[in-house]
């Protein structure tokens, strides 16, 4: 192999973003994980690598990421090694581009299966963790199913299904429930303007907040605040 080709191959391999691999293992879907891995490998021209050493480099990177993720999912290192071999044993499976690709596909797919199995076994704990995250971050208008899923180590699709199964409501319904409950507490216990309260509970659009509040309570925020009899004189100045 020419020196220039070796240098180019090394450059390509070094561009492999292991964070993408970790993200795939932690949040990826089972039905398209092989295609996603192939996309990452194509970015570094993996199938054009002629050097066995560089194929080993890529294979080892994916192996280490998969092994660490599996341990985080509750799979013992011994179980992982029994399934895929120790790092000292796997070189025999990385001799060709096809065998290396098949090995990496198998690892990624199995790790995602382990993650899904662990989530199913620990559904209540994961939902509790998700609810705690929402209860702390509901004031942030950027909170989303995606950010919550990343926090608990699930894919957004799986967290959504888990929420529906365990809570009998979807993610957005629960987030709205938390925000409306907090808004009611503020409306009952303070004399703040309603637009201020809307902002404090995560709504940046007062009119939207008012619509959501009425949908969930049957009253507008102003009607609710008035009914608590805590508003000071000059209630007509409160934002309608």
Measured distance CA(80)–CA(101) in Å, rounded: 18
Whole-number pLDDT of residue 13:
52
H/E segment holding residue 168: none
Burial of 53 per CB tally in 10 Å (0-12, 13-18, 19+): exposed
Residue ranges of the domains in the chain?
Answer: 3-121, 123-240
Whole-number pLDDT of residue 152:
87
CA nearest 79: which of 95, 61, 93, 66? 66
- R_g of the chain computed on alpha carbons: 26
H/E segment holding residue 122: none
Indicate the DSSP class of residue 167: H
Q: Which residue has the tokens 């703040």?
A: 192
Dihedral, CA of residue 133, residue 169, residue 164 and residue 209, to nearest 10? -50
Rounded to the nearest angstrom, the gap between the alpha carbon of residue 111 and the centroid of all alpha carbons in its chain is 16
Q: How far apart are the first and last CA of the chain?
A: 75
Whole-number pLDDT of residue 229:
55
Whole-number pLDDT of residue 12:
55
What does each of the 240 residues of the chain score in pLDDT, given as a tens digit?
444 444 444 445 556 678 899 999 988 989 999 999 999 998 888 888 778 888 888 889 999 999 999 998 889 999 999 999 998 899 888 889 999 999 999 999 999 999 888 877 777 788 999 999 999 999 998 899 999 998 888 788 888 888 888 888 999 999 999 999 999 999 987 778 899 999 999 998 889 999 999 999 999 998 898 887 554 443 333 333
Measured distance CA(154)–CA(75) in Å, rounded: 16
Whole-number pLDDT of residue 110:
97
Measured distance CA(126)–CA(162) in Å, rounded: 9
Whole-number pLDDT of residue 56:
86
CA nearest 60: which of 98, 79, 87, 37? 87
Q: In sequence order, which residues have a C-beta less than 8 Å from that of residue 140 and are 6 or more positions away?
A: 202
CATH architecture for residues 123-240: Orthogonal Bundle (1.10)
CA nearest 55: which of 90, 95, 8? 95
Whole-number pLDDT of residue 35:
96
Measured distance CA(161)–CA(159) in Å, rounded: 5
């Amino acid at each position: 192999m020419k020196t220039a080709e070796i240098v180019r191959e090394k450059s390509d391999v070094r561009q492999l973003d292991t964070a993408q691999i970790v993200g795939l293992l932690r949040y990826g879907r089972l039905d398209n994980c092989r295609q996603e891995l192939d996309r990452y490998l194509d970015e570094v021209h993996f199938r054009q690598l002629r050097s066995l050493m560089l194929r080993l480099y890529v294979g080892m990177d994916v192996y280490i990421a998969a092994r660490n993720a599996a341990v985080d999912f509750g799979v013992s290192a011994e179980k992982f090694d029994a399934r895929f071999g120790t790092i000292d044993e796997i070189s025999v499976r990385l001799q060709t581009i096809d065998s290396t690709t098949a090995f990496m596909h198998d690892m990624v797919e199995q790790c995602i299966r382990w993650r899904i199995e662990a989530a199913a076994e620990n559904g209540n704990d994961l939902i509790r963790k998700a609810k705690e995250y929402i209860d702390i971050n509901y004031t942030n208008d950027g909170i989303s199913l995606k950010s919550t899923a990343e926090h608990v180590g699930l894919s957004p699709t799986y967290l959504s299904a888990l929420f529906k199964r365990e809570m009998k409501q979807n993610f957005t319904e629960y987030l709205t429930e938390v925000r409306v409950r907090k808004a009611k507490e503020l409306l009952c216990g303070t004399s703040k303007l309603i637009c201020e309260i809307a902002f404090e509970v995560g709504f940046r659009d007062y009119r939207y907040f008012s619509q959501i509040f009425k949908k969930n309570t049957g009253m507008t925020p102003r009607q609710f605040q008035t009914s608590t009899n805590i508003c000071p004189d000059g209630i007509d100045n409160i934002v309608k």
